[in-house]
Amino acid sequence: MELYSYFRSSASFRVRIALALKSLPYDYRTVHLVRNEQTGPAFAAVSPQRLVPLLKDGEATLTQSMAIIEYLDEVYPEPPLMPADPLGRARVRSLSQDIACEIHPLDNLRVLRYLVKELGASEDAKNAWYRHWVEVGLEVVERQLSEQPATGTFCHGDTPTMADCLLVPQIFNAQRFDCRLDHVPTVMRIFENCMRLPAFLAAQPSACPDADA
Ligand SMILES: N[C@@H](CCC(=O)N[C@@H](CS)C(=O)NCC(=O)O)C(=O)O
């Protein structure tokens, strides 16, 4: 497999965690987002979205991190990243979408660039926007994790699922932008549990071949 990724890309980080949890080897292909390689001809030729991650598995090209993780889970089922029961799977997808659909798109690089370059937002205004959507979004995740009995050591039960693959990169982003996190203690407890596992450590930005590129 080949993973098109950027070390700081939280959506790529999600897939790197899933690959590491499943001990799947892959070739790392850097798409340097700050240098706009995502819109350059080489990547545009393979990616309709011009976004990372993108996974190639043989002849297949996969995009969208949640779709990639579910694909990996179906084709390489051990260890499972989705619960065996429909309600459990719905909960894991719901938690994952709270991050992938409600938080991340608002703070994506191209959105931040649009705020600054097209709408004239200052650096302070951009950072306030970023923090606002992360803090509000994580509060939603916290409510579910703290109130629902299915929460365990991890987001759903006592083994990592797709929801943890999404939660951890979002916390890395939140910490990088100095977001408040004292209002989400359950989120942080689960984050810390995840970061004790070798797969999460191996997938983190500082462990990527293009770290600090
Ligand atoms: N919903 C997509 C999001 C992918 C995405 O937005 N990736 C970011 C990096 S985390 C990206 O490539 N951004 C490039 C840009 O904003 O120009 C997924 O889950 O894979």
Q: Is the pLDDT of residue 213 over 90?
A: no
- Centre of ligand 1 to C-alpha 187, Å, is 23
* pLDDT tens-digit series, residues 95-134: 999 999 999 999 999 999 999 999 999 999 999 999 999 9
Where along the chain do its domains lie?
2-79+202-207, 86-199
Mean pLDDT across the chain, nearest whole number? Answer: 97
- What mean pLDDT is predicted for residues 131-160? 98
Query: Residue 178, SS3?
Result: coil
CA angle centred on 211, ends 65 and 203, rounded to 5°? 45
Q: Matching CATH topology for 2-79+202-207 and 86-199?
A: no
- Centre of ligand 1 to C-alpha 51, Å, is 5
Q: Do β-strands 60-63 and 54-57 pair in parallel, antiparallel, or remain unpaired?
A: antiparallel
> What does the pLDDT read at residue 130?
98
> What does the pLDDT read at residue 65?
98
Probe residue for ligand 1, chosen from 9, 51, 62 as the CB with the greatest number of ligand atoms within 8 Å: 51
Cα 57 from chain centre: 20
Cα 176 from chain centre: 14
Using CA atoms, how far apart are residues 91 and 203, in angstroms rounded to an integer? 24
- Centre of ligand 1 to C-alpha 109, Å, is 8
Confirm if 91 and 103 have CB atoms less than 8 A apart: no
Residue 41 tokens read as 């001809």
- For residue 198, the surrounding DSSP H or E stretch is helix 198-203
Count, residues in the chain: 213
Q: Is the pLDDT of residue 35 over 80?
A: yes
Residues flanking ligand 1, CB < 6 Å:
9-11, 33, 38, 51-53, 64-66, 100, 108-110
* pLDDT tens-digit series, residues 179-195: 999 999 999 999 999 99
Query: CA of 212: how far to CAs of 34, 49, 205, in Å?
Result: 11, 24, 9
* pLDDT tens-digit series, residues 151-171: 999 999 999 999 999 999 999
Using CA atoms, how far apart are residues 204 and 195, in angstroms rounded to an integer? 9
- pLDDT-derived band at 137, boundaries 50, 70, 90: very high
Query: CA of 79: how far to CAs of 20, 75, 82, 84, in Å?
Result: 11, 11, 9, 12
Q: Is the pLDDT of residue 173 over 80?
A: yes
> What does the pLDDT read at residue 122?
98
CATH topology of domain 86-199: Glutathione S-transferase Yfyf (Class Pi); Chain A, domain 2 (1.20.1050)
Q: Is the pLDDT of residue 204 over 90?
A: yes
> What does the pLDDT read at residue 212?
82
Measured from the CA of 52, which atom of ligand 1 is nearest? 12
- Centre of ligand 1 to C-alpha 147, Å, is 30
> What does the pLDDT read at residue 73?
98
Residues 6+ apart with CB under 8 A from 46: 4, 54, 56, 61
Measured from the CA of 13, which atom of ligand 1 is nearest? 10
Domain 2-79+202-207: give its CATH superfamily.
Glutaredoxin (3.40.30.10)
- Centre of ligand 1 to C-alpha 108, Å, is 6
* pLDDT tens-digit series, residues 65-101: 999 999 999 999 999 999 999 999 999 999 999 999 9
